[in-house]
Structure 1
Amino acid sequence: MANRRTPKLDRAQAVDTALRLLNDVGLEGLTLRAIARELDVQAPALYWHFKNKQELLDEMATEMFRRMVAAGPPAADAGWQELLLAGNRGLRAALLGYRDGAKVFSGSRFTGTEHAAQLEDTLRALVEAGFELRQAVRATSTAYFFTLGFVTEEQGVEPAPGERREGYDVAERAARMADFPLAAASGADLFQDYDTGFEEGLQLLIAGIGARYGIA
């Protein structure tokens, strides 16, 4: 009888499994060994594709980006403000699709070139609107850093939809900080209704970009 051979494990299969497992165990619990167990293979099979966890995270971030851009580009006639709004709204939605999604994305190096194509389109739109290239770079990177930081903090409080970490009860916080009335009242805006907070913050940032460079 011929020996049965285990199907060859490919890189895409490993990344897809890692992204699914991320929602169950979070970034700290996501190890190459845990992914190997999920795939029912030995850990060395994964080390063939990824030398270490950071290489895996780079590929996971790249796949997250691929899935994000697969939703389609903004309207062709969108202005620079609409491009930044749509791009960062899409980024936040993508990051929130995974437990610790922002932490996976932060500091990762994309392994493909899909991000270059999107960046090229965005920078071109800003340059055509009147930005110098360095200004366009500063505008897009600042918006990106805002979104990444916002979601990192958001997921620190609400790691997954419907889940909230202990220690972030707004009423309890207000009572504890009663001697500092403004700081106490700020909790309602800091730790609740993240959709509104993100939208207002992003629009403030984009308005500031326009004012700083004198471009409507």
Structure 2
Amino acid sequence: MATTRLDRARVARVALDLLNETGLDGLTLRAIAQRLDVKAPALYWHFKDKQALLDEMATEMLRRMTADLEGGHDGADEDWAAALARSMRGLRSHLLRYRDGAKVYSGTHFTDISYAAPMEAQLHRLTRAGFTPGTAARAWLTAYSYTIGYVIEEQATGPDPATGGDGYDLAARAERLKDYPLTAAAGEEMFRAYETGFETGLAAVVAGIATTLRTH
């Protein structure tokens, strides 16, 4: 057994490295233990099951994201819409650094309060801009949910980092849908132009938030 002391953060870092090789389906406690050169039961001292490990992995992703975003822009001169959009772009960018990153990140429970300071700043900016505390929370969650969902679909249907393939076979899709020309043609917009698509959708989400949730 390796003599280097195991801790939750180290296991999470190794698991994130392995995630890029195996994807979420191939990520097992046994595989992580092998990479760490320990016996699998040693990991159960820190994580009762795979979900507990995913929670720690998501928290480590958040720590890295927060450090990068805080170091890159103070946001002092931004209005709420620009700041919210920038935050969501940063979230997407970081999720894309990991194979199946959005799946790992979604639905997890963070293991510390790393999320609190950046979230507090976003909510404070929104309330200063005319949102109530409730609508500020709803605005943030709406943009966040859009981003997480978009990246889950992007990583599921886009280029496969393991094989380098182009992702969704649009020619085969168009052939299957030849009797539905608009649906067939939609494939190019839905399954290729991910960057443009994200920005277009994000702009629509932010505009909708401004129209429906902001009080003045």
Is the structural similarity TM-score above 0.5?
yes
TM-score normalised to structure 2 length: 0.92
Identity of aligned residues (%): 53
**Contact 2:2–2:37 (Cα < 8 Å) also in 1:** no
Listed one character per residue, the Cα deviations across residues 108-148 of structure 1 (whole Å, up to 9, x for unaligned) are 00111110111110000000000011111111001000000
Equivalent residue number for residue 49 of structure 2: 52
Q: Does residue 198 of structure 1 match 2:198?
A: yes
Q: Distance in 2 between matches of 1:7 and 1:119?
A: 35
Q: Distance in 2 between matches of 1:5 and 1:175?
A: 54
Q: 1:15 pairs with 12, 15, 29, which one?
A: 12
Letter in 1 for 2:185: A
Superposed displacement of residue 41, structure 1 = 0.6
Listed one character per residue, the Cα deviations across residues 61-120 of structure 1 (whole Å, up to 9, x for unaligned) are 000011111113342121110111111101101110001101101110011111011111
Q: How has the CA–CA distance of structure 1 residues 5 and 198 changed in structure 2, closer, same or farther, with 3 Å as cutoff?
A: closer
Equivalent residue number for residue 187 of structure 1: 187
Aligned residues: 211
The runs of 5 or more residues in structure 2 that have no matched partner are none
Moved over 6 A (4+): none
Q: How has the CA–CA distance of structure 1 residues 38 and 71 changed in structure 2, closer, same or farther, with 3 Å as cutoff?
A: same
Superposed displacement of residue 215, structure 1 = 5.9
Equivalent residue number for residue 153 of structure 1: 153
Equivalent residue number for residue 97 of structure 1: 97
**Contact 2:14–2:36 (Cα < 8 Å) also in 1:** yes
Q: How has the CA–CA distance of structure 1 residues 172 and 7 changed in structure 2, closer, same or farther, with 3 Å as cutoff?
A: closer
Q: Distance in 2 between matches of 1:104 and 1:5?
A: 27
Residue 114 of structure 1 aligns to a residue whose secondary structure is coil
Q: Distance in 2 between matches of 1:190 and 1:135?
A: 30
1:1-216 to structure 2, matched below 5 A, reads 6-73=3-70, 74=73, 75-158=75-158, 159-160=160-161, 162-165=164-167, 168-214=168-214
Q: Distance in 1 between matches of 2:69 and 2:135?
A: 26
**Contact 2:178–2:184 (Cα < 8 Å) also in 1:** yes
Superposed displacement of residue 171, structure 1 = 2.5
Q: How has the CA–CA distance of structure 1 residues 215 and 195 changed in structure 2, closer, same or farther, with 3 Å as cutoff?
A: farther
Listed one character per residue, the Cα deviations across residues 157-190 of structure 1 (whole Å, up to 9, x for unaligned) are 124384444xx22222222211111111101101
Residue 9 of structure 1 aligns to a residue whose secondary structure is coil
TM-score normalised to structure 1 length: 0.92
Structure with higher Rg: it is: 1
Q: Distance in 1 between matches of 2:95 and 2:185?
A: 29
Q: Distance in 2 between matches of 1:170 and 1:28?
A: 25
Residue 110 of structure 2 aligns to a residue whose secondary structure is coil
